[in-house]
Structure 1
Amino acid sequence: MNLFADMRGRVLACLDQMVAEGALPQGLALDAVAVEPPRDAAHGDMATNAAMVLAKPAGLNPRAIADALAVKLAADPLIASADVAGPGFLNMRLVPAAWHGIVKAALSDTAFGRSNLGQGQRMMVEYVSANPTGPLHVGHTRGAVFGDALASLLDYAGYDVTREYYINDGGAQVDVLARSVYMRYLEAHDLSVDWPEGTYPGDYLIPVGEALKDKVGDAYIDKGEQFWLEDVRAFATNAMMDLIREDLAQLNITMDHFYSEKSLYGSGLIEKAIAELKAKGLIYQGVLEPPKGKTPEDWEPREQTLFRSTAHGDDVDRPVQKSDGAWTYFAPDIAYHYDKVQRGYDALIDVFGADHGGYVKRMKAAVAALSDGKVPLDIKLTQLVKLYQNGAPFKMSKRAGTFITLRDVVDEVGPDVTRFHMLTRKNDAPLDFDFAKVLEQSKDNPVFYVQYAHARVNSVLRKAQDAGIAVDDATLAAVDLAGLTHDAELAVARKIAEWPRLVEIAAKGHEPHRIAFYLYDLASDFHALWNRGNDDTSLRFLQMGDSDTTQAKIALIRAVAIVISHGLGILGVKPAEEMR
């Protein structure tokens, strides 16, 4: 049940009546008419912009439309009052029964808050996609959590979602990995080695080198790269992907697909994708302008095969094939997204790190060209994470040799705290992760505050059950809620009513952080009601000797717990049953 959508339907019905009566002209487009919370809660429960958006096309004064609409809305049994403000905004207050209905819906409808917004559209979310050269680091952690929560949010909103990891195993970095593993392989044979510059000296490769020794014995000792590079590359890549899967499992992330970049080479898919663009007149031979700013001394104009990406919104055309015939890094990315389009997805989302900002326009241009503009691509960039301990930069053990790993972070604070806190800022804003503060038991810590609300509700349920009061959802959904009339109680119900609308807003904007923000606000309203009970005994949830009133109050807070549980589920966080 989406009360805001329901009230919008009632507004539209009143507008239809006004058209039928001649108060409004025929043929008005009503798509822009909205019903939403007012900017100032003191103005009412809901507000509509109907008069403001219809005034110009109707050729009427917005205040006149609002006055007429207010009269019709005031006759609705769910609307206590409809008041016109300013030039034509219309604020509505609802009767308590409207909010009681929301509580009952949350208790009785297991799909409360879910949406059919996506209508089953097939959505691909590609995220993490780190180079398979080592364990995931703290930067990958944010992209992993964001992408996974976004996929869950879209699923909750009615999309058919696929989670995919693109394995960057086609570049020179995988050869570097193979050489690094070979160094560890030699060490496993008790041989002294000099690490070449640019290799990966992290301790995480020690067991990989030992595993290679167990597999091939001394077969690669004193042999040139031509004898072992290809085999060690495959062995090392598989080992790293096993490690990455284990890292993701630490955050309870499971991918539907892993797609290898290397599989594109020799498959003909790169050639097919470029041919597709060429058939559209978007591939040509040309010379790019020198880089902006100071031109490098070794720069010289060279004819290359270029993609006319400027035809689809990019700043400059992009090379796809070098003058020597080798593909650029961009070519397999084009082919990979061509494959996504060919697999029949209705929309695509890529989650990249902040260092991929320069890839956004060219990638969008490629997908627009390959799909003839039919498959939208949204690229979400995740900004850096800075680690702190009590406000000071935090240094941890670096098993990777050069960076702090995902596993270091999860081992320190746990997966639930890690996931929730990674979503307490919008993805394109920098994030400070203070290990002390994310474990702090205070209102200032949103992770704790939301979990504490859920645990508090459960503690009330247990006490009620001990007192012999039935608190199962079916019983609570049938309870008479007419006694819930206090502003603090209705404030909680109003916040619950925002949940279905919030889900759709977050899904449309691809913004899972909105879920975390909302849960904090809901928890705040709940805790405020709890604290009011310290002074006003009539607001306490357990009214001894009055099971009917107790059940009504528990129905309200059980609805809070249900919504918190749904929201945390989207974020990939387990709700706390009790706090310790």
Structure 2
Amino acid sequence: MDLKQQLKVTIDEAIKQAELVPEGQLPELKVEVPKDKSNGDFSTNAAMVLTKIARKNPRDIAAAIIENFDQAKAGVKEINIAGPGFINFTMDSKELANVIYKVLDQKENYGRSEANNEKVLVEFVSANPTGDLHIGHARNAAVGATLSNILDFAGYDVTREYYINDAGNQINNLALSIEARYFEALGQDLNMPEDGYNGKDIKLIGENLAKEHPEYKDLDQKERIAEFRNLGVELEMQKLKTDLEDFRIRFDNWFSETSLYESGEVDSAMDKMTENGYTYQADGATWLRTTDFKDDKDRVLVKKDGTFTYLMPDIAYHYDKVERGYDKLINLFGADHHGYINRLKASLGALGEDPDKLEIEIMQLVRLIENGEEVKMSKRTGKAVTLKDLIDMIGVDAARYFMVMRSTDTHFDFDLDLARSESSDNPVYYAQYAHARICSILRQAKEQGFEIDESQAVDVIENEQALELLKKILEFPNIVKGAAAARATQRIPNYIHDLAASFHKFYNAEKVLGEVEEKTRAYILMIEAVRQTLENALGLIDVSAPESM
């Protein structure tokens, strides 16, 4: 239990001891770090929250809490009431310094919570295998991977999944496009379908097939299209997987849409919704009564011609997710999918599941900015900027860091010039430089005969900037928990920046390798704890922690 948790427990005990609220009626109380340092290390508004229940003035409630509060147990040096009833706590510096030992003991697991029993499936990217990944996919990939890392670190059982859209009209058009390029390579006129794909990769696939399999021209078209469909999806997915791997994105499962038809899952989902009374026939089509679950209108599942709408396999896919035993389903969708939320959640209700089991995070648009102007085209190809282009422009570290810096519900202007700069204005450079600087100091310390010795006392740390740095280290486990609960990936880079800033401030104010040996040894332990925490936090967004720069 960290200091903040211990403080909260001790506050709860003091409230019970003071008999301020009836048994079992104590609400969830918050302990926060005040923005104004003069208000101590931690603060709670518990007295104001309890006013209605206790039927007393908040300052009187605060006084009763303080009277029954065990300062020694919570590691509190000073406690006072401020304003209308805020209770402010100043921690004993010795207790703050003990976080160093915790970090050194837990190392790469510092900040990790104990495993819970909640199984979470995070589905992200899921781009159609018909072309290159673009900037929107890059944001989706970075946020999805980071959210998965955070949830895993916070104790959830996380599965990362990519849904391969390898069925439907788009894939049929892909096969027809390959066929058109195939026959073009064999000397025939190009007969590209109206909604065909004109990318260079499709032309190359057609040319290679013409060289390696000229016999395909003699196949029945249905058989040939089936062959081209499978080959096209396989080759496009290989390319997507390579790009994602280069972006440090990994998946536990690659789930095929086609498998839903082959396994009978589509029919099973339809039967389930019909059995539950949520489907009906009208105008020659089969409809789903999504308006029973807050959707603005009912949705067609089977068209007049007997074919499924694109919604039906999506419902079957989510039915499969539920059947696999996941407690929470998290989908990361592009900005153009906002209208899809209610109908997909409604389908879960029609399947007899809680619609709130499904969470959909919408990724707002990203604009690339260079020299103050929006970049829409790749200098390399003259076409839309791809994920591969972005990596080539600024590298994986900067791309991953910048893509998770902002809340997903906001539009994001990605400043390429800033991402390339080697200055303190560049947040990823600023954070990595802090880590590299610590590593440099530790190397110097070793050369001077100072090793990391965990038996060394750290209670000599009293410098104001050092204590602020310790408090920042102490925050990390709760930052991770909060980011996981709120699905707020931007909290991690925000924390990384704050931790780096606290270190730089300490470094500029105090000499680590000073003249007092006892303090030097304590500082060495402290900055190693900072380094480890920084590495752990950077790891959550899959950004490297360099030892030199």
| TM-score grouping bracket, smaller chain normalisation | over 0.9
Name the SS for the 1:220 alignment partner: helix
1:553 equivalenced with 2:523 (yes/no): yes
Q: Distance in 2 between matches of 1:399 and 1:208?
A: 21
1:505 equivalenced with 2:505 (yes/no): no
Q: Distance in 2 between matches of 1:176 and 1:403?
A: 21
**Shift of residue 315 of structure 1?**
2.3
Name the SS for the 2:255 alignment partner: strand
Q: Distance in 2 between matches of 1:113 and 1:227?
A: 55
1:394 equivalenced with 2:380 (yes/no): no
**Shift of residue 198 of structure 1?**
2.9
Within the candidate set 411, 419, 423, 1:438 is matched to: 419
Q: Distance in 2 between matches of 1:315 and 1:328?
A: 18
TM-score (normalised: structure 1)? 0.90
Q: Tell me the alpha carbon deviations over residues 106-139 of structure 1, each in whole angstroms, 9 at most, x when there is no partner.
A: 12223221113x6131110000000110121111
Q: Distance in 2 between matches of 1:349 and 1:404?
A: 27
Within the candidate set 380, 387, 395, 1:414 is matched to: 395
* 1:255–1:400 CA distance, 2 compared to 1 (3 A): farther
**Shift of residue 274 of structure 1?**
1.8
Match of 1:291 in 2: none
* 1:247–1:2 CA distance, 2 compared to 1 (3 A): same
Name the SS for the 1:219 alignment partner: helix
Q: Tell me the alpha carbon deviations over residues 293-312 of structure 1, each in whole angstroms, 9 at most, x when there is no partner.
A: xxxxxxxxx45322222222
Q: Distance in 2 between matches of 1:284 and 1:194?
A: 41
Match of 1:263 in 2: 259
1:541 maps to amino acid: V
Match of 1:299 in 2: none
- Confirm or deny: 8 A CA contact 2:15 2:21 kept in the other structure: no
Within the candidate set 310, 315, 338, 1:357 is matched to: 338
- Confirm or deny: 8 A CA contact 2:14 2:66 kept in the other structure: no
Count of residue correspondences: 547
Name the SS for the 2:158 alignment partner: strand
- Confirm or deny: 8 A CA contact 2:330 2:359 kept in the other structure: yes
Match of 1:201 in 2: 198
Within the candidate set 130, 133, 143, 2:140 is matched to: 143
Q: Distance in 1 between matches of 2:313 and 2:428?
A: 40
Q: Tell me the alpha carbon deviations over residues 365-408 of structure 1, each in whole angstroms, 9 at most, x when there is no partner.
A: 22244253187111111111111222222254377875221111
- Confirm or deny: 8 A CA contact 1:133 1:177 kept in the other structure: yes
- Confirm or deny: 8 A CA contact 1:201 1:401 kept in the other structure: no
- Confirm or deny: 8 A CA contact 2:377 2:383 kept in the other structure: no
**Shift of residue 430 of structure 1?**
1.4
Q: Distance in 1 between matches of 2:398 and 2:79?
A: 43
Within the candidate set 65, 82, 103, 1:69 is matched to: 65
Name the SS for the 2:43 alignment partner: strand
Q: Distance in 2 between matches of 1:398 and 1:360?
A: 36
Q: Distance in 2 between matches of 1:374 and 1:227?
A: 41
1:495 equivalenced with 2:491 (yes/no): no
**Shift of residue 70 of structure 1?**
1.8
1:576 equivalenced with 2:546 (yes/no): yes
- Confirm or deny: 8 A CA contact 2:290 2:346 kept in the other structure: yes
- Confirm or deny: 8 A CA contact 1:32 1:53 kept in the other structure: no
Name the SS for the 1:193 alignment partner: coil
Q: Tell me the alpha carbon deviations over residues 38-97 of structure 1, each in whole angstroms, 9 at most, x when there is no partner.
A: 243331111112222222122222221101112333743611221112222211111101
- Confirm or deny: 8 A CA contact 1:134 1:400 kept in the other structure: no
- Confirm or deny: 8 A CA contact 1:51 1:88 kept in the other structure: yes
- Confirm or deny: 8 A CA contact 1:54 1:62 kept in the other structure: yes
* 1:413–1:191 CA distance, 2 compared to 1 (3 A): farther
- Confirm or deny: 8 A CA contact 2:10 2:70 kept in the other structure: no
**Shift of residue 464 of structure 1?**
0.6
- Confirm or deny: 8 A CA contact 1:165 1:255 kept in the other structure: yes
- Confirm or deny: 8 A CA contact 2:538 2:545 kept in the other structure: yes
1:36-435 superposed matches below 5 A: 36-73=32-69, 75-76=71-72, 78-110=75-107, 111-116=109-114, 119-189=116-186, 193=190, 195-220=192-217, 225-286=221-282, 302=283, 304-373=285-354, 376-397=357-378, 402-435=383-416
- Confirm or deny: 8 A CA contact 1:341 1:375 kept in the other structure: no
After alignment, is 330-339 or 436-445 more displaced?
A: 436-445
- Confirm or deny: 8 A CA contact 1:421 1:433 kept in the other structure: yes
1:16 equivalenced with 2:16 (yes/no): yes
Q: Tell me the alpha carbon deviations over residues 468-527 of structure 1, each in whole angstroms, 9 at most, x when there is no partner.
A: 1102xxx1x322112211111111111111111111100001111110111011111111
* 1:400–1:272 CA distance, 2 compared to 1 (3 A): farther
Gapped runs of 5+ residues in structure 2? none
Name the SS for the 1:109 alignment partner: helix
* 1:401–1:242 CA distance, 2 compared to 1 (3 A): farther
Q: Tell me the alpha carbon deviations over residues 513-542 of structure 1, each in whole angstroms, 9 at most, x when there is no partner.
A: 11011101111111111222xxxxxx1111
TM-score (normalised: structure 2)? 0.95
Name the SS for the 1:568 alignment partner: helix
- Confirm or deny: 8 A CA contact 1:321 1:328 kept in the other structure: yes
- Confirm or deny: 8 A CA contact 1:37 1:47 kept in the other structure: yes
Gapped runs of 5+ residues in structure 1? 287-301, 533-538
1:204 maps to amino acid: D
**Shift of residue 275 of structure 1?**
1.7
- Confirm or deny: 8 A CA contact 1:413 1:439 kept in the other structure: yes
Name the SS for the 2:385 alignment partner: coil
* 1:368–1:31 CA distance, 2 compared to 1 (3 A): farther
